[in-house]
Amino acid sequence: MCIRDRHGTFAAGLIAATPGAAGGPAGLAPEARILAVRGADERGGSTVAQVAAGIRTAADEGASVIYVAAALAAGKAELTKAVAYASEKDALVVAPLAPDALPRDAKPAAWYWPAAAPGAIGVTDYGPDGQRPANAPVVGGADLAAPGDAVVSIGPEGSGHFIGYGASFAAAHVAGAAAQVRARHPELSAADTARRLTEAAYPASPPRLDPYAALTAVLTDEKGAVPRTERAEVPPPPAAEPRTRALIAAGVGGGVVLLVAAGAVVIPRGRARNWRPAGS
């Protein structure tokens, strides 16, 4: 769902770009089909009504994963209903936990929507060093973290590549991983897909997206929530009685060897003396 001017092209590349003959960046789900739904005005600004309508339209068109780039401080009721509507259509909504940037001197809100709505995956970002930029809005409660700073994707025109920054691009990575999971495991519902992504993620705070684990993890329950851990089998300690018997047998065997060796020396000498005591 395109939210800002030219932003959707870049995000769509992170999700589903296919490299050309000369190479180029690839998305996480290069065989996914993109349905472009506008959720912004001509200048790239978004309203609650536009984003809610975009979510509903994408769900009605059969999208299995709905990527939303907007993070709005208002519209809790309307956007929560829109996410619930998508969930009823078995579509998973993925959205950034906070805006990519805030106006100067503006304080972040406690929650942003639709990421905070039940059923949606709220995503935060980190950079190549594993940290978030110092000037990025700090909002708690992320379901997942994914690469979002200094990421490379396609641009709206030309043959070059572009670099992007922000939680909205981290959400695009999660949306691509979700598309791959739904393609590989078509039996999973939207809710089960979200649980697989979060439960198979790299353990951190918040958990970090691990697309490979999300695709390949062996799960313990039927709904696909918990990665299976193999039980460690510790062998019992060896019994003391057999070991004692072995030592006794070894000792007796050693005694027999010594007796046989002693007999081999004593018997010939006794015969030579007609069994008389030595010195007689």
Could you list the pLDDT tens digit for every one of the 280 residues in the chain?
444 457 888 899 899 888 776 667 788 898 899 998 887 766 667 899 999 999 999 999 999 999 999 999 999 999 999 999 999 999 999 999 999 888 888 888 999 999 999 999 999 999 988 888 767 777 778 999 999 998 989 877 666 778 889 999 999 999 999 999 999 999 999 999 999 999 999 999 899 999 999 999 887 665 444 554 444 455 566 555 555 454 444 444 444 343 334 444 445 555 555 555 555 4
Alpha-carbon distance of 240 to 280, in angstroms, equals: 53
Q: Is residue 48 part of a domain?
A: yes
Residues 155 and 195 reside in one and the same domain:
yes
Number of domains in the chain: 2
Residues 210 and 152 reside in one and the same domain:
yes
Residues 82 and 132 reside in one and the same domain:
yes
What are 73's strand-pairing partners?
none
* pLDDT, position 276: 57
Residues 106 and 244 reside in one and the same domain:
no
Residues 196 and 263 reside in one and the same domain:
no
Whether 91 and 66 have beta carbons less than 8 Å apart is answered as yes
Q: Which long-range contacts (CB under 8 A, 24 or more apart) does 184-191 make?
A: 184/215, 185/224, 188/224, 189/90, 190/64, 190/86, 190/87, 190/90, 190/91, 190/92, 190/119, 191/87, 191/92, 191/119
Q: Is residue 169 part of a domain?
A: yes
Residue 121: which CATH number? Answer: 3.40.50.200
* pLDDT, position 120: 98
* pLDDT, position 266: 47
* pLDDT, position 242: 53
Residues 212 and 241 reside in one and the same domain:
no
Residues spanned by the domain of 194 = 7-216
Residues 172 and 279 reside in one and the same domain:
no
Chain centre to alpha carbon of residue 59 = 25
Alpha-carbon distance of 46 to 159, in angstroms, equals: 29
Residues 129 and 258 reside in one and the same domain:
no
Alpha-carbon distance of 161 to 158, in angstroms, equals: 8
